[in-house]
Amino acid sequence: MRNRTVLKLFSMIAPIFTWVLTALIPGRKPSVLATECRNKAKIMTLVQGLDSYMDPEGRTSLQTIVEKCYALGSFPALWAVEGAGKDLAEWHMSRNTTPSRILTDAPLDPKWDKSLLMLHAGIGLGFAKNLVERMTSSSGEQVRQVAIRTVELCRNNSRPGYYGAAIESLGLVSRFMKDAAFCRQVHDVLTKEAPESVGFFWRGVGRCLYFHPVNFMPGFSRPCRAMDLCEAETPTPDLKETLLAGVAWPLTIVNMTNPEVMEWVLEHDDQYFNGSRAFINGMMSSVIMRYDTTLDDPLVGRFVNHKPNPQNTALCALWESRIRQPIEAAIHSIYPVLKKHNRLDEVFQYHPSLESLAAKLEQEARQPAR
């Protein structure tokens, strides 16, 4: 996460290595899995940025930075905005270890509210990265301080309805920069001190498992090593679904430009999600986030309406039931409700049924105030 040059070189080499290794494993499709690898590496580069999104003096306004991110194009803008949020948080942390109201008071024209979800994800990334990097040991007290401080920073700098997007990044940073044992330590702290953050945290861990360097090497028993990692690292059986949803989230949006990747996943579901509801949740949640961030991007529509080879009737049926129908519901039924009730950050944690969540929010809103 620190060395931008190494990351750029890695993004060039990893797809080639993946293609060669995958070609040696029977039943795999090297071109598809190499494409997925290339897409992951590209996104990591966008978030990290070859240069900081912040100028050293901090004179460039947040709105100007956001405008520059969106000028890159609607597809890369999402991750560029996340990277801008990360750099914003790190810039403030280098000058004041207890910043507050960074995004709460940020002068941002309402037309750029579409950047808020990923800006919050970015500041959470920056806060957690800054604190974890400064750890001198993994003692219980230091882990506790990192977890609690990240929670406090995310709360004190997030707008209402966006805290979940920020604290979810603690999971990504914890697993990327440390290991599974460290995540368990953070889990114990959050369970006692901030239980409402536990689901967001493990969703972030799942997102990291998809991007983690170990997952760039194709698995031998299963194409995606993240699947086995989810099973091995979950602290409880229930949270396994959260981890899997965290994998499904980036799997969907990272590869939207190449629907053949999702075709492969659907056709080999027994090696991926094996019918888990977490796949639908992660996919729908990521599309809601993408839709809110880039409303004018035709990519979602092209992905939804993608037509697999009509001769493969089984795949066509899977695309209809597991891609098109859930995404249509996410965009037209669930997203408007979450937006109306200022609860968009709920897509940053696992819900067995987003439809049920939306219905619950509507029901609560109809109840008379006490």
Q: How far is Cα 134 from Cα 155, in angstroms, rounded to an integer?
A: 21
Domain of residue 172: give its range. 4-366
pLDDT attached to residue 28: 84
Q: How many domains does the chain have?
A: 1
Please state, rounded to an integer, the average pLDDT across all residues of the chain. Answer: 92
Which residue from 48, 32, 365 is spatially nearest to 211, judged by alpha carbons?
48
pLDDT digits (tens, 9 = 90+) for 179-200: 999 999 999 999 999 999 999 9
Burial (0-12, 13-18, 19+ Cβ within 10 Å), 43: buried
pLDDT attached to residue 19: 77
pLDDT attached to residue 24: 74
Amino acid at 316: C
Q: What one-character DSSP code corresponds to residue 98?
A: S
Average pLDDT over residues 67-81: 92
pLDDT attached to residue 30: 85
pLDDT attached to residue 1: 43
pLDDT attached to residue 54: 81
Query: Is pLDDT at 348 greater than 90 in this prediction?
Result: yes
Q: What is the pTM of this model?
A: 0.92
Query: Six-digit token pair at 40?
Result: 């992951």
Which residue from 343, 241, 243, 327 is spatially nearest to 285, judged by alpha carbons?
327
Q: How far is Cα 205 from Cα 197, in angstroms, rounded to an integer?
A: 13
Average pLDDT over residues 79-98: 93
Average pLDDT over residues 68-88: 92
Q: How far is Cα 257 from Cα 306, in angstroms, rounded to an integer?
A: 11
pLDDT digits (tens, 9 = 90+) for 32-48: 888 998 898 888 877 77
Q: How far is Cα 261 from Cα 257, in angstroms, rounded to an integer?
A: 9
Cβ–Cβ contacts within 10 Å for residue 217, how many? 14
